[in-house]
Amino acid sequence: MRFDVVTLFPEQFRILSDEGVVARALKRGLASLTTWNPRDFATDAQRTVDDRPYGGGPGMVMKVAPLREAIAAAKHAAAVAGHDSRVAYLSPQGRRLAQADMQRIAAAPGWVLVAGRYEGVDERLLEAHVDEEWSIGDYVLSGGELAAMVVMDAVIRLLPGALGHADSAAQDSHGDGLLDCPHYTRPELIDGRSVPPVLLSGDHAAIARWRRQQALVRTWQRRPDLLRARGLGEDDRALLDEFMRGRAGTAAEQERNET
Ligand code: ADE
């Protein structure tokens, strides 16, 4: 898949292309990343990309024309390469993205991501040239670059072949609408803490069952909103009930011991 990013700070995207899972995916051609600087599309001698807001107030607003031309150039290059790209603008006013959105984004042939700076961009650019507006969370960053990189990282690691192990992405937190189970590695005992015995049992079915139960319990304890949103199948409900019964038993036992 193809990403074209419209940004005043193309160097920042080296974070993605220098090392790590995304860098490897880019090198192997699973995805491509091209940056487009609106300053290169400004027509005045100063290469102006922003101006004061109508109506007054602090900060500067990014002008329509340089952004419009940068987006057009990016879309054209994508089309020539056979990608019908949609345009997304990163901003705190956008729809908040979750894992399911990352899957949808990964299924598209390409995206032009517009990273805004200053106080924002002229609203008329969004109306006429942007298909979607995305937020990565309810907080304000000083620009859309980090948000664009967050989206690209979350999407590119989902592409087939991006991760070493074929199942890794499916097993992530949120992969199935659940948080991930806990993980352990050697040694078996450290600082008085041991590894749950089932993980040492070699019984693959028991291990899979324990992991599923842990994922369900964690989600129930930490993010009940996620459980409410996705609902529970019969098997999952039984696993969660089993944990609750165990807890109730432990609590009753504790009470008996205390009295
Ligand atoms: N730009 C600034 N803050 C942002 C956010 N929370 N999400 C996406 N883009 C942003």
Mean pLDDT taken over the chain: 95
User: Distance, CA 93 to ligand 1 centroid (Å)?
Assistant: 8
User: Distance, CA 190 to ligand 1 centroid (Å)?
Assistant: 41
Axis crossing angle, helix 145-156 with helix 99-107, rounded to the nearest 10: 80
* H/E run at residue 99: helix 99-107
- 49 touches ligand 1 (CB under 6 Å): no
User: Distance, CA 33 to ligand 1 centroid (Å)?
Assistant: 20
- The per-residue pLDDT for range 162-207, each reduced to its tens digit, is 998 766 777 777 778 999 999 999 999 999 999 999 999 999 999 9
Residue 191 has what pLDDT?
98
- Identify the CATH assignment for 189-258 out of 3.60.15.10, 1.10.3720.10, 3.40.50.2000, 1.10.1270.20: 1.10.1270.20
Residue 166 has what pLDDT?
60
User: Distance, CA 129 to ligand 1 centroid (Å)?
Assistant: 19
- 136 touches ligand 1 (CB under 6 Å): yes
Q: Whose CA is nearest to atom 7 of ligand 1?
A: 135
How many CA atoms does the CB half-sphere of 160 hold within 13 Å?
Answer: 1
Q: What is the phi/psi pair of residue 116, to 5°? A: -90, 160
User: Distance, CA 240 to ligand 1 centroid (Å)?
Assistant: 36
Share of the chain above pLDDT 90, in %: 88
Q: Whose CA is nearest to atom 10 of ligand 1?
A: 91
- The per-residue pLDDT for range 18-53, each reduced to its tens digit, is 999 999 999 999 999 999 999 999 999 999 999 999
Q: How do strand 50-51 and strand 61-62 relate by DSSP bridges? A: antiparallel
What average pLDDT does the segment 229-234 reach? 95
Active site residue 172: yes
Count how many residues are written for the chain. 259
CA distance 144 to 93: 12
CA distances from 41 to 56, 113, 114 (A): 26, 17, 14
pLDDT band at residue 255, thresholds of 50, 70 and 90? confident
- 7 touches ligand 1 (CB under 6 Å): no
219 or 256: which carries more pLDDT confidence?
219
Domain 2-156 matches domain 189-258 at the CATH topology level: no
Residue 247 has what pLDDT?
87
Name the active-site residue from 39, 92, 132, 218. 92
Active site residue 157: yes
- 141 touches ligand 1 (CB under 6 Å): yes
Residue 256 has what pLDDT?
76
- 151 touches ligand 1 (CB under 6 Å): no
- 140 touches ligand 1 (CB under 6 Å): yes
User: Distance, CA 102 to ligand 1 centroid (Å)?
Assistant: 16
pLDDT band at residue 254, thresholds of 50, 70 and 90? confident
- 137 touches ligand 1 (CB under 6 Å): yes
Residue 189 has what pLDDT?
98
Given a cut of 70, whether residue 133 has pLDDT beyond it is yes
Residue 167 has what pLDDT?
62
The 110-115 sheet, strands edge to edge? 32-36, 2-6, 110-115, 86-96, 132-135
CATH number of 2-156: 3.40.1280.10
Domain ranges for the chain: 2-156, 189-258
- Whether 122 and 64 have beta carbons less than 8 Å apart is answered as yes
Residue at token pair 């490897």: 24
Given a cut of 90, whether residue 259 has pLDDT beyond it is no
- The per-residue pLDDT for range 190-202, each reduced to its tens digit, is 999 999 999 999 9
Name the active-site residue from 153, 172, 180, 242. 172
Beta strands in 37-123 (DSSP E): 50-51, 61-62, 86-96, 110-115, 120-121
DSSP of 35-46: EE-GGGG--STT
Given a cut of 80, whether residue 252 has pLDDT beyond it is no
Interacting residues of 227 by C-beta distance below 8 A, sequence separation 6+: 178, 216, 219, 220
Residue at token pair 């937190």: 173
Name the active-site residue from 2, 68, 117, 157. 157
